[in-house]
A and B are shown apart, each in its own frame.
Chain A
Amino acid sequence: NAGVMQNPRHLVRRRGQEARLRCSPMKGHSHVYWYRQLPEEGLKFMVYLQKENIIDESGMPKERFSAEFPKEGPSILRIQQVVRGDSAAYFCASSPTTAAQETQYFGPGTRLLVL
């Protein structure tokens, strides 16, 4: 049973470009969460999705950031017009039900560098 998969593992973008980060949850998991980690910091919640629904996006910046989890395919975190401050590690986690009841399992992360 494969774990949470994320790609790409590393992504370099110039200011103003778009970044697309992909996350495939563990088999049987229908809940996906995205977190951002700055150097020497903890992980900060961004958004919680179920298939075709955004449940909680309270941690996501209102502009330039969007997330989706379509019926088929991976979850996508999209950052438009990237700025240097977007450089961070982005982690995806999945669980079979809500985090309050079940453990979240994390992927290896995507490290975004904005030049």
Chain B
Amino acid sequence: GENVEQHPSTLSVQEGDSAVIKCTYSDSASNYFPWYKQELGKGPQLIIDIRSNVGEKKDQRIAVTLNKTAKHFSLHITETQPEDSAVYFCAATPGDKIIFGKGTRLHILP
């Protein structure tokens, strides 16, 4: 079955700097890759997604890239702000279910 690896598990960046989270997946049938942000005590919230027919997508300070050949996809957050502190999950969908990475805890340092 699908396996999603996510790195790093923890990331600390200075406010205003950029943060990059990287994921790999194993099942070439996966064609939809959502990213979720989870704040303490809350459910995951979709922040951006990308489909396999697109290499890059941007939404204000957030961008996602996808390399289908290498089975890599990444999340980029620019000009980080305190409210970006949370746990971020990448995911892949080889079928009807979402397979999540283990998450990256992002700390924005003042």
Residues of A within 8 A of B (CB): 4, 33, 35, 41-45, 48, 55-56, 59, 91, 93, 98-101, 103-109
Contacts and interface: CB of A to CB of B under 8 A. Distances in A.
Interface string B94-105: 011111111100
A45 to B, nearest CB: 4
Contacts of B43: 4, 91, 106-109
Nearest to A43: B100
A45 B98 CA distance: 7
Contacts of A44: 100
Interface in B12-57: 31-32, 34, 36, 42-46, 49
B89 interface: yes
Give 10 closest A-B pairs by Cβ, nearest first: A106-B43, A42-B100, A45-B97, A42-B102, A108-B43, A43-B100, A106-B44, A98-B96, A99-B93, A109-B43
Contacts of A56: 95-97
Interface of B: 6, 31-32, 34, 36, 42-46, 49, 89, 93, 95-103
B97 A43 contact: no
Contacts, number: 61
A100 B89 contact: no
Contacts of B44: 43, 91, 106
Contacts of A59: 97
A106 B99 CA distance: 14
Given A42-B101, A55-B96, A91-B44, 12 more contacts: A45-B97, A45-B98, A45-B99, A99-B93, A99-B95, A99-B98, A100-B31, A100-B93, A103-B49, A105-B46, A106-B43, A108-B43
